[in-house]
């Protein structure tokens, strides 16, 4: 079970906010020794400062009383919260626009997350590329996963089932599903669903009901 320093599993809400703080720091902190207070960062994140400090408190706090946070230190500590002091290696499944979107996304490398390749059923057997990223054929897959220490498979195709089956077969157990289809995870397999619609629809609610 994932635990913090108080041996309590932090709530998904807290984890999402911590991820948000990290992204905002990457974007908004600049200069040699940038400082940022809970009040400033909370204002950008659109929450209360006390909530931000409570979120940090679950992990022991990242500052010293009387002084704003050191933005660089805070970034490092937040990366550690997510275990990203060591790089994380992804394999994308499906040479689709979704895959291209991730490959071109500047946030991933800044979070120490690295895309090592794209697997596609239509890929040839050697030296192919997709959007400047190695394109892997299914026959080379097992060796590629092993050699590149892939820990997460990212499903980028609208029909996710065949890619899921393939990657489970090759030994992956953790997946990020970007396809709009909900996947029911087999035993022992962890699938994080990412549904764009769950972000769009609440906004539409506001728009149409106001």
Partner DNA sequence: TAGATTGTTAATCGATTAACAATC
Interacting residues toward DNA by CB under 7 A: 11, 13-14, 37-39, 47-51, 53-54, 56-57, 60-69
The residue among 75, 65, 59 whose CA lies nearest residue 14 is: 59
The residue among 154, 14, 13, 150 whose CA lies nearest residue 78 is: 14
Closest to its own copies by CB, 65 vs 210, is 210
* Angle subtended at Cα 178 by Cα 175 and Cα 184, rounded to the nearest 5 degrees: 55
Closest to DNA by CB, 61 vs 109, is 61
Cβ neighbours of residue 85 closer than 8 Å, sequence gap 6 or more: 76, 79, 112
Torsion of the alpha carbons at 199, 200, 204 and 205, rounded to the nearest 10: -30
Closest to its own copies by CB, 184 vs 187, is 184
Closest to DNA by CB, 34 vs 49, is 49
Coil/strand/helix, residue 119? strand
State the nearest-atom distance from the C-beta of 117 to its own copies, in Å.
Answer: 17
Residue located via tokens 């207070």: 37
Please choose which of its own copies, DNA, none residue 181 contacts, taking the beta carbon within 5 to 8 angstroms, the exact cut-off set by kind: its own copies
176 touches its own copies (CB under 8 A): yes
Please say whether the beta carbons of 49 and 25 come within 8 A: no
Closest to its own copies by CB, 187 vs 198, is 198
Please choose which of DNA, its own copies, none residue 67 contacts, taking the beta carbon within 5 to 8 angstroms, the exact cut-off set by kind: DNA
Residue located via tokens 């590329």: 129
State the nearest-atom distance from the C-beta of 12 to its own copies, in Å.
Answer: 6
Please choose which of its own copies, DNA, none residue 126 contacts, taking the beta carbon within 5 to 8 angstroms, the exact cut-off set by kind: none
Interface pick for its own copies out of 50, 104, 139, 149 (rule CB under 8 A):
104
Instruction: Return the beta strands (E) in 22-86 as ranges.
Output: 35-36, 69-70
In this structure, what token pair is assigned to residue 201? 């629809």
Residues that bind its own copies (CB under 8 A): 1-3, 12, 15-16, 18-20, 22-24, 27-28, 44, 81-84, 88, 96-98, 100-102, 104-107, 111, 113, 131, 151-152, 158, 174, 176, 180-182, 184, 190, 192, 194-210
């Amino acid at each position: 079970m994932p635990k913090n320093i108080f041996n309590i599993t932090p709530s998904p809400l807290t984890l999402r906010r911590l991820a948000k703080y990290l992204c905002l720091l990457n974007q908004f902190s600049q200069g040699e020794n940038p400082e940022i207070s809970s009040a400033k960062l909370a204002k950008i994140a659109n929450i209360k400062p006390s909530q931000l400090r409570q979120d940090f408190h679950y992990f022991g706090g990242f500052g010293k009383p009387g002084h704003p946070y050191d933005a660089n230190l805070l970034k490092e500590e937040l990366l550690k919260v997510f275990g990203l002091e060591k790089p994380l290696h992804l394999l994308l499944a499906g040479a689709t626009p979704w895959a291209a979107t991730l490959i071109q996304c500047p946030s991933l490398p800044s979070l120490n997350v690295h895309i090592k390749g794209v697997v596609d059923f239509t890929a040839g057997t050697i030296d192919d590329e997709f959007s400047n990223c190695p394109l892997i054929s299914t026959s080379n897959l097992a060796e590629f996963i092993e050699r590149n220490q892939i820990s997460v498979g990212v499903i980028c195709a609208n029909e996710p089932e065949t890619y899921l089956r393939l990657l489970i077969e090759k030994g992956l157990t953790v997946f990020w599903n970007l396809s709009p289809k909900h996947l029911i995870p087999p035993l022992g397999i962890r699938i994080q669903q990412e549904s764009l619609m769950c972000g769009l629809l609440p906004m539409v609610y506001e728009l149409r009901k106001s």
